[in-house]
């Protein structure tokens, strides 16, 4: 039972060490995979945000162009504005329209088709637009707003710039030039969808219409460990996020399959380790014990007693020798003699306490370790039990055999301080006690 428990502990320890090493390797693999996925996602997101930033910056330059055009000539003919507007839209399909709003009221828009509802729209009176007009006036820069739902329909991005002219030596607000980007067309041009390939995308613009946030895509990833990059525009900031479908450990399924294989191997290692240790302990146990009786052999007995003496234990050893044992072998044969030795060992073990030890140290000679033998009382009680047990007739292979034996003992401290001294003392006393002891072996017809 002890060897089984120890084998279980050692096998568990070996498996735990291997498991921890595999776990460390697996974590390193997943960490490396996550880093690679983050790098790829970062590159993907950088391309998207960079392209969008370029488009939006260009639209602001167009707004500035019309601001310069009209500031220099407030009477610029509508036909001239249309020529420039048509050229811009032709070369930039994401531009939805160009509008001019004198005093904040939209009077010109190109193309007019589909944008009729915007004509006459007073931007200063629109609570969702007015704040952006004032910001354009304050900063004297193009100010972005959007994406927002336009009055003519569609999700649009407005880039407005205030136009100032000089009248009688004084600067006066003339109106606003606006370049409008179609948000859906911009996404389409970049082939950007809420889920594209292995990635999910999301976008957030705070207070895009002046009051409410604009949200697009898989907005739930904004709350996850998504990568985020910003598009910074005058007046607002767009937050773009990217997150892999399946998380940053995406692609670990191959390693996961390998994990199952390794777990199976670890189970096999545990089983093999357990049975190997059990076999090892059986071999070790075999080398410590007498092969015939299963009790300790002389070497193991001596090592055990030496260890107890080093620990300062009070002990005694008893030497027992079977008298005239050779006659049993000669009369009944060696197989019966072996059975007598085995039965003797069994009876001696039964006469001892759990803390005592029995050894066979020769052909018909036994040695007993008596634990915590402080006085002769304990020793005498055990010797009495031994005499009673060995005096009973043995029934072996239909033969009734009575044995006689001689005993001698030695007590540590009193009779010696080493195993050699104790053994010599006990052995000497045993031979002194042999005296007239004789072996009597009786079967149904014969008595020795």
- Delimit the domains of the chain by residue range: 1-196+243-283, 197-242, 296-441
Please tell me the predicted confidence (pLDDT) of residue 252: 55
Please tell me the predicted confidence (pLDDT) of residue 426: 95
Domain 1-196+243-283 has CATH 3.30.450.20: no
Please tell me the predicted confidence (pLDDT) of residue 447: 38
Please tell me the predicted confidence (pLDDT) of residue 448: 37
CA distances from 175 to 58, 124, 214 (A): 21, 11, 27
* pTM over the 0.75 mark: no
Please tell me the predicted confidence (pLDDT) of residue 209: 78
CB atoms within 10 A of CB 362: 11
Q: How far is CA 421 from its chain centroid?
A: 59
> Which residue ranges in the chain fall short of pLDDT 70?
1-2, 250-258, 279, 281-287, 435-448
- The 10 Å CB-count burial string (b at 16+, else e) for 76-101 is eeeeebeebbeebbeebebbbbbbbb
Please tell me the predicted confidence (pLDDT) of residue 357: 95
Distance CA 223, CA 42 (A): 18
CA distances from 310 to 247, 298, 355, 372 (A): 64, 18, 17, 14
Backbone angles phi, psi at 64, to 5 degrees: -65, -35
**All residues at 6 or more sequence positions from 235 whose CB lies less than 8 Å from its CB, including other chains:** 132, 135, 136, 143, 144, 145
Please tell me the predicted confidence (pLDDT) of residue 438: 44
Closest residue by Cα to residue 363 from 399, 323, 403, 394:
323
Please tell me the predicted confidence (pLDDT) of residue 436: 45
Q: Quote the tokens at residue 331.
A: 């009369």
Quickly name the fold that domain 296-441 has: Alpha-Beta Plaits (3.30.70)
Please tell me the predicted confidence (pLDDT) of residue 164: 96
């Amino acid at each position: 039972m002890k060897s089984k428990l120890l084998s279980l502990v050692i096998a568990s320890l070996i498996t735990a060490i291997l498991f921890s090493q595999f776990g460390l390797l697996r974590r390193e693999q997943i960490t490396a995979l996550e880093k690679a996925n983050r790098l790829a996602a970062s590159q993907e997101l950088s391309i998207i945000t960079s392209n969008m930033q370029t488009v939006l910056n260009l639209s602001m330059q167009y707004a500035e162009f019309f601001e310069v055009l009209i500031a220099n000539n407030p009477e610029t003919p509508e036909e001239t504005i249309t020529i420039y507007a048509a050229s811009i839209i032709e070369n930039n399909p994401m531009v939805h329209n160009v509008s001019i709003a004198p005093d904040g009221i939209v009077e010109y828009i190109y193309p007019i088709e589909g944008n009729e509802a915007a004509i006459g729209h007073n931007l200063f009176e629109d609570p969702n637009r007015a704040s952006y007009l004032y910001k354009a006036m304050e900063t004297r820069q193009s100010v972005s707003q959007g994406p927002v739902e336009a009055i003519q329909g569609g999700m649009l991005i407005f880039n407005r710039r205030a136009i100032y002219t000089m009248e009688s030596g004084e600067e006066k607000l003339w109106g606003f030039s606006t370049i409008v980007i179609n948000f859906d067309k911009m996404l389409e041009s970049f082939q950007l969808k809420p889920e594209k390939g292995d990635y999910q995308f999301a976008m957030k613009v705070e207070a895009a219409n002046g009051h409410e946030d604009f949200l697009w895509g898989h907005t739930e990833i904004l709350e996850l460990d998504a990568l985020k990059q910003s598009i910074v525009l005058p007046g607002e900031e767009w937050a773009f996020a990217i997150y892999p479908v399946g998380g940053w450990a995406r692609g670990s399924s191959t390693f996961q399959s390998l994990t199952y294989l390794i777990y199976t191997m670890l189970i096999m290692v545990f089983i093999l380790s357990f049975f190997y240790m059990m076999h090892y302990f059986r071999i070790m146990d075999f080398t410590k014990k007498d092969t015939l009786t299963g009790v300790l052999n002389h070497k193991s007995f001596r090592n055990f007693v030496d260890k107890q003496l080093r620990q300062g234990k009070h002990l005694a050893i008893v030497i027992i020798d079977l008298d005239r044992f050779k006659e049993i072998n000669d009369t009944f044969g060696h197989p019966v003699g072996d059975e007598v030795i085995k039965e003797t060992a069994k009876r001696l073990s039964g006469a001892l306490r759990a803390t005592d030890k029995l050894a066979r140290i020769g052909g018909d000679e036994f040695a007993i370790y008596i634990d915590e033998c402080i006085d002769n009382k304990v020793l005498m009680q055990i010797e009495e039990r031994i005499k009673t047990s060995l005096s009973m007739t043995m029934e072996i292979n239909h033969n009734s055999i009575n044995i006689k034996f001689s005993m001698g003992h030695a007590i540590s401290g009193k009779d010696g301080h080493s195993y050699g001294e104790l053994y010599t003392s006990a052995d000497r006393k045993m031979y002194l006690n042999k005296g007239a002891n004789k072996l009597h072996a009786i079967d149904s017809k014969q008595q020795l």
